[in-house]
Amino acid sequence: MAILRNSNAIEGKVVLDVGAGTGVLSIFCAQAGARKVYAVEGSSIADQAVKIVKLNKMEDKIDIIKGTLEAIDLPEQVDVIVSEWMGYALLHESMLNSVLFARDKWLKPGGLILPCKAELYLAPINDLVSEDRLNFWSTVKNQYGVDMSCMTDFARRCIMNNDITVNPVTVEDVLSHPSKFAELDLYTVTVDQLKSVKGIFSCDCFGSSTVNALCVWFTVTFPGGEKPLILSTSPFKQETHWKQAILYLDEPVDVEQDTKVEGEIHMYPSAESSRHICIHVDYSIGQLKMQSKTFSIPDGYSETQP
Amino acid sequence: MAILRNSNAIEGKVVLDVGAGTGVLSIFCAQAGARKVYAVEGSSIADQAVKIVKLNKMEDKIDIIKGTLEAIDLPEQVDVIVSEWMGYALLHESMLNSVLFARDKWLKPGGLILPCKAELYLAPINDLVSEDRLNFWSTVKNQYGVDMSCMTDFARRCIMNNDITVNPVTVEDVLSHPSKFAELDLYTVTVDQLKSVKGIFSCDCFGSSTVNALCVWFTVTFPGGEKPLILSTSPFKQETHWKQAILYLDEPVDVEQDTKVEGEIHMYPSAESSRHICIHVDYSIGQLKMQSKTFSIPDGYSETQP
């Protein structure tokens, strides 16, 4: 665990857990020898955290503070900030703003932030699930004697829409090595910079296939020991509850080995809700002219309760 | 197919398709020899139905009429009404009211309604998925060294809530033979009667297990030939897109062979939206005293688009 790897840095120190949830990270910190942990949680799950801390006999080390980070008060500055702040596509309904607020208000100079860095990646994919759903309409005639092939276009517009789709991507569907398009250093990034996270990407396709979507994911890095620990939500790694963010293109495009998929991607808060994310992509595939598409996460894609 | 089985009754006849969707039932009726099919569809999918009818060269036989059944006009009375009106738990966002309206306004005396009958069933189940999710909290201590067992009660209240959960039920989780609690004869049932569909149930458990939910499903019957055709959404049959409706009890109850699970179930439209369904259940299990619980379907459980 990332916390235990950093136990040298945590032992005897004061820790702030931003968005503590059930308090499990706070307990890890106490187990790693923290002198004191302030566990701040705004939702009613804080009541459960109180029970869990008591059950684990950590009341003397961990203070559960019910309230939003921006509103609460702490009796002292802290040596370490820990937080599991990441949302879908890293920034959707994320708590990163609160972590940065906590850093600027409560972290001692030279203090530690866990995780300390986030990176964003993109790769073109050939999403077979959506292709199968589209191909269904061409099979109806043979199966039921009714030609419904003209539904394919309509269904394509329904599926290949402007929603950011959060789903696990099968590794076989990924068509190139990932391209890193942004990196956030949690010691220096500002709330203002989070309003526009932008970067370029360039991918060389592995071989003959069809690109029907771009796939976005992230990693976060915990410093420590000889080797930093990286939590990756890549389709090449074990699935996490963040899965991947899929951006469907309007039309599928055939690619060959070394066909370039490149462009610029821009993540920013939606005008309706500052905690919701929009993604704008300008992209070109091979010799085709540049295309643009803007995506957002539909309502109801919130973190699930236990 | 139910339509083709009734081709004797459809041949040369005039058919009304209530909520025609893509028009596939209408095309089946035309293939079965209908003289004329009026396909009424209120949503924009009607535009797709027009294309599909043209693609299948049935424009002379099938009229797609865009509008709600209650608002449109037909040039003649019809011999047959067909409709795929069923919603989750039979009545959630169902179009049965429109079918009954069509019957009273447009069906010739002695005309045919397909399907002609719906039946509702209930059985106690032991939903293992929810049990696994609850048991997780007891395993955290061994896996991660943090005792989170006190989360089980909280998680139980989150999962075992008042939502009607639409999910496929595994046949092994069904704890008794089904008990039929209601039957709707589409020739005689009235819109008024649909406001309160009520019945009693009595189930004898197969053997030792734990009841943590009641499961509700339906069948609809198409007359025809020697043997009527029954479309069943039972967990004992192949899964359909209706799956089953799961009603979680607040507390699981242990049962033995022949333990009686009995009571009364009442389905009625929600006060907020007449197209949404509520289910109230009074039940007793074995010697335990009667319990009551009222359920509704959460927002967002609408029929999916193609």
Closest chain B residue to A154, measured at CA? B48
State the pLDDT at residue A69: 95
B131 or A213, which is more confident: A213
State the pLDDT at residue B110: 95
Q: DSSP of chain B, one letter per residue?
A: -HHHHTHHHHTT-EEEEET-TTSHHHHHHHHTT-SEEEEEE-STHHHHHHHHHHHTT-TTTEEEEES-TTT---SS-EEEEEE---BBTBTBT--HHHHHHHHHHHEEEEEEEES-EEEEEEEEE--HHHHHHHHHHHHHHHHHS---TTHHHHHHHHHSSSBEEEEPPPGGGB-B--EEEEEEETTT--HHHHT-EEEEEEEEB-SSEEEEEEEEEEEEEE--SSS-EEEE--TTS---TT-EEEEEEEEEEEE-TT-EEEEEEEEEE-SS-TTSEEEEEEEEETTSPPEEEEEEPPTT-PPPP-
Closest chain A residue to B4, measured at CA? A144
Cβ-based contacts under 8 A for chains A and B: 69
Catalytic residue positions of A, numbered: 84, 93
Regions in chain A scoring below 70 on pLDDT: 1-5, 225, 300-306
State the nearest Cα–Cα gap between A113 and chain B, in angstroms. Answer: 22
Phi and psi at B245, nearest 5°, equal: -100, 125
State the pLDDT at residue A228: 86
State the pLDDT at residue A225: 67
Is residue B236 a contact partner of residue B230, using CB atoms and an 8 Å limit? no
State the pLDDT at residue B224: 74
Sheet holding B197-204, edge to edge: B197-204, B260-269, B277-285, B291-296
State the pLDDT at residue B6: 72
Tens digits of residue pLDDT in B75-121: 999 999 999 999 999 999 999 999 999 999 999 999 999 999 999 99
Nearest to B31 among A140, A145, A148 (CB): A145
**Residue B94, both tokens:** 């169902």
**With helix as H, strand as E and coil as C, how does B270-301 read?**
CCCCCCCEEEEEEEEECCCCCEEEEEECCCCC
Chain B hits for A146, Cβ within 8 Å: 24, 27-28, 31, 52, 56
Mutate to test the interface with B, among A62, A84, A154, A303 (most CBs of B within 10 A): A154
Reduced to 3 states (helix: H, G, I; strand: E, B; else coil), residue A123 is strand
Nearest to A150 among B1, B51, B154 (CB): B51
Report the DSSP pairing between strands A117-125 and A179-185: antiparallel
**B300 CB near a chain A CB, below 8 Å?**
yes
Token pair 């309760």 is found at: A305
Reduced to 3 states (helix: H, G, I; strand: E, B; else coil), residue A140 is helix
Contact: B148, A28; criterion CB under 8 Å: no
Contact: B154, A24; criterion CB under 8 Å: no
**Residue A181, both tokens:** 């398009």
**In Å, what is the CA distance from A162 to each residue of A72, A96, A296, B257?**
38, 25, 6, 53
Confidence band, pLDDT 50/70/90 cuts, at residue B304: very low
Q: What distance, in Å, lies between the first and last C-alpha atoms of chain B? A: 21
Closest chain B residue to A148, measured at CA? B52
Confidence band, pLDDT 50/70/90 cuts, at residue B9: confident
State the pLDDT at residue A129: 86
State the pLDDT at residue B8: 81
Q: What letter does residue A171 receive in the DSSP assignment?
A: G
State the pLDDT at residue A3: 67
State the pLDDT at residue B19: 96
Query: How many other β-carbons are positioned within 10 Å of the β-carbon of residue A84?
Result: 16
Chain A hits for B52, Cβ within 8 Å: 146-148, 150-151
State the nearest Cα–Cα gap between A299 and chain B, in angstroms. Answer: 10
Nearest to B147 among A1, A55, A151 (CB): A55
Contact: A146, B24; criterion CB under 8 Å: yes
Tens digits of residue pLDDT in B229-242: 999 999 999 999 99
Q: Please state, in angstroms and rounded to a whole number, the distance separating the CA atoms of residues A215 and B227.
A: 52
Sheet holding A36-41, edge to edge: A62-66, A36-41, A14-18, A78-83, A107-114
Residue B124 C-alpha from the chain's centroid: 17
Q: Please state, in angstroms and rounded to a whole number, the distance separating the CA atoms of residues B58 and B30.
A: 8
Chain A hits for B1, Cβ within 8 Å: 144
- Non-local (6+) Cβ contacts of A109 within 8 A are none
State the pLDDT at residue B306: 36
Is residue A84 a contact partner of residue A187, using CB atoms and an 8 Å limit? no
State the nearest Cα–Cα gap between A272 and chain B, in angstroms. Answer: 20
State the nearest Cα–Cα gap between B255 and chain A, in angstroms. Answer: 27
> Residues B17-31: what's their mean pLDDT?
95
Contact: A48, B306; criterion CB under 8 Å: no
Contact: B52, A145; criterion CB under 8 Å: no
Phi and psi at B34, nearest 5°, equal: -60, 140
- Non-local (6+) Cβ contacts of B109 within 8 A are none
Phi and psi at A49, nearest 5°, equal: -60, -40
**B50 CB near a chain A CB, below 8 Å?**
no
Contact: A27, B146; criterion CB under 8 Å: yes
State the pLDDT at residue A298: 84
Q: Which of B266, B253, B220 is nearest to B113 (CA)?
A: B220
**A68 CB near a chain B CB, below 8 Å?**
no
> Residues B206-227: what's their mean pLDDT?
92
Handedness of CA B1, B5, B8, B13 (dihedral sign): negative
Phi and psi at B201, nearest 5°, equal: -135, 155
Mutate to test the interface with A, among B4, B52, B159, B161 (most CBs of A within 10 A): B52
Mutate to test the interface with A, among B24, B137, B154, B159 (most CBs of A within 10 A): B154
Q: At what angle do helices B151-159 and B128-144 cross, to 10 degrees?
A: 160
Reduced to 3 states (helix: H, G, I; strand: E, B; else coil), residue A192 is helix
Closest chain A residue to B304, measured at CA? A158
State the pLDDT at residue B2: 65
- Containing H/E element for A153? helix A151-159
Is residue B18 a contact partner of residue B69, using CB atoms and an 8 Å limit? yes
State the pLDDT at residue A227: 80
Residues 110-139 of A with CB under 8 A from B: 133, 137
Query: How many other β-carbons are positioned within 10 Å of the β-carbon of residue B192?
Result: 8
Residue B303 C-alpha from the chain's centroid: 11
Is residue B91 a contact partner of residue B99, using CB atoms and an 8 Å limit? no
Mutate to test the interface with A, among B4, B17, B151 (most CBs of A within 10 A): B151
Chain A hits for B24, Cβ within 8 Å: 140, 144, 146, 148
**Residue A235, both tokens:** 């389709």
Going through chain A in order, the beta strands assigned E by DSSP cover: 14-18, 36-41, 62-66, 78-83, 107-114, 117-125, 164-167, 179-185, 197-204, 209-222, 229-232, 244-255, 260-269, 277-285, 291-296
Contact: B154, A306; criterion CB under 8 Å: yes
Residues forming a β-bridge with A183: A119
State the pLDDT at residue B11: 93
Chain A hits for B140, Cβ within 8 Å: 24
Contact: B24, A150; criterion CB under 8 Å: no
Tens digits of residue pLDDT in B64-88: 999 999 999 999 999 999 999 999 9
Tens digits of residue pLDDT in A201-251: 999 999 999 999 999 999 999 987 678 899 999 999 999 999 999 999 999
State the pLDDT at residue A2: 65
State the pLDDT at residue B38: 98
